[in-house]
Amino acid sequence: MQVYLVGGAVRDQLLGHPYHEKDYVVVGATPDQLLAEGYQPVGKDFPVFLHPKTKEEYALARTERKSGVGYHGFQFFTDADVSLEEDLIRRDLTINAMAMDANGQVYDPYGGQKDLEQKILRHVSHAFTEDPLRVLRVARFAARYESYGFKIADETLHLMREIAESGELNELTPERVWKETARALMEDHADVYFKILRECHALKILFPEVDALFGVPQRPEYHPEIDCGIHTLMALQQACKADYALDVRFAVLVHDLGKALTPIEELPRHVMHEERGIQPVTVLCDRLKVPTHLKNLALTVCKEHLKCHQVQILKPGTLWRFLQRLDVLRRPEKVRAFVQACECDARGRLGMEDRPYPQAQFILNAMDIVRNIRAQDLPEHVKGPEIGEMLIQYRIEALADFKAQLEKQ
């Protein structure tokens, strides 16, 4: 029995990129042998075991054969006679098809080290086309290693287009699409993921609402980059640069979906795009089964981001109602996430990437003001329904004082 470290841990170790998970492949063993040594079985489709002490995953070397559609349509075969080379050839990219033994010796039958040095993402074999999920995985790797200068090999990009045009992407479950996308959104260059999906014609299949933004013009005085799709990816770049959380990054991605629905005769203006965006954001979230708290923030950013940009000129009463819609009293963390997303929108424009966004601190200060006014601060004679009315009055007055003090500065 021989044990090898495989996949991402080998790749990232050679690249000098941080990694946390380790996966191992076991050659020349049977399930009974691993069970006898205390390994715990966890695999459903093929034998995968947890190490009795480290709890790291150990998979028996295996081969596979396409037997149906989608990424589930495979039959796996494990046997003590399956070689390391046979196991590695079924992997997606050459840089993921390397193994390392306990002595640090690298086994690289398919040229992964050379592609790592030349910064190329290249498929191992034509079997690449049998798994549609690999389109998303390669796009995610492109986003992850963008800062290293990695590019996708032309022939691999061709196969990705082939998969997209075959219709097999439609066989992916919403859960798998969302899982890959959520991971991609947390990369330092998440915008590259969507650029690659668009380049291989997968964006219009998996994210038609986002794809529809490309080619839609905006007023150049507000958006020098003009194209709505380019603006969206520039705003996403800002969210990555600031290292914002997943909910903020996703909200930024979908904040302008309504602009794809602007009537042609109204272009390049986008009046009412906030309201028009509610339907496509909802459809996208429901289709991909996006977690509820991400969907809620995305809808709020879609509906209210222009109000955030204009917040400093709102009257005190209008400002209070705006803060109420943000759920300022119960969800201060949502307000902070909302402000972050709107800041990315404001800075995701050509030549405006570093401009100040005082609206952010304005809203956070206003939030603190209204949250610090509580029922115990009211006169003792105020009772019952009057409490709520008086709290609103006090909060609006406090916002008026806040605005007045700023105007004096």
Q: Are 45 and 67 in contact (CB under 8 A)?
A: no
| 23 is known to lie in a ligand binding site | yes
21 is in an annotated binding site: yes
**Is 8 annotated among the ligand-binding residues?**
yes
Contact 122, 86 (CB under 8 A): no
161 marked as binding residue: no
Residues 6+ positions from 377 with CB-CB distance below 8 Å = 394
DSSP 210-275: HHTTTT-B--TTT-TT-BHHHHHHHHHHHHHHTT--HHHHHHHHHTTGGGGGS-GGGTT--TTHHH
**Cβ-Cβ contacts under 8 Å for 265 (sequence gap 6 or more):** none
**Hey, what are 365's tokens?**
């200060």
Q: In the chain, how long is the greatest CA-to-CA distance? A: 86
Q: Is 321 annotated as a binding residue?
A: no
> Which residue in 8, 18, 205 sits closest to 116, CA to CA?
8
Gap between the Cα atoms of 51 and 34, Å rounded: 9
Spatial distance between the Cα atoms of 246 and 241, rounded to a whole number of angstroms: 13
Tell me whether the omega of the peptide bond preceding residue 268 falls within 30 degrees of 0, making it cis: yes
SS3 labels along 112-135: HHHHHHHCEECECCHHHHHCCHHH
Q: Where are the alpha helices (DSSP H) in 313-384?
A: 316-325, 332-347, 359-371
Query: Does residue 11 have a known ligand-binding role?
Result: yes
Nearest to 10 by CA among 72, 91, 128: 91
408 to each of 6, 117, 316, 340, how far by Cα in Å? 64, 60, 16, 27
| Annotated binding-site residue? 140 | yes
Which residues lie across from 76 on neighbouring strands? 64
State both tokens at 272.
């009412």
Binding residues for CTP: 8, 11, 91, 137, 140
Binding residues for ATP: 8, 11, 91, 137, 140
Binding residues: 8, 11, 21, 23, 91, 137, 140
Binding residues for Mg(2+): 21, 23
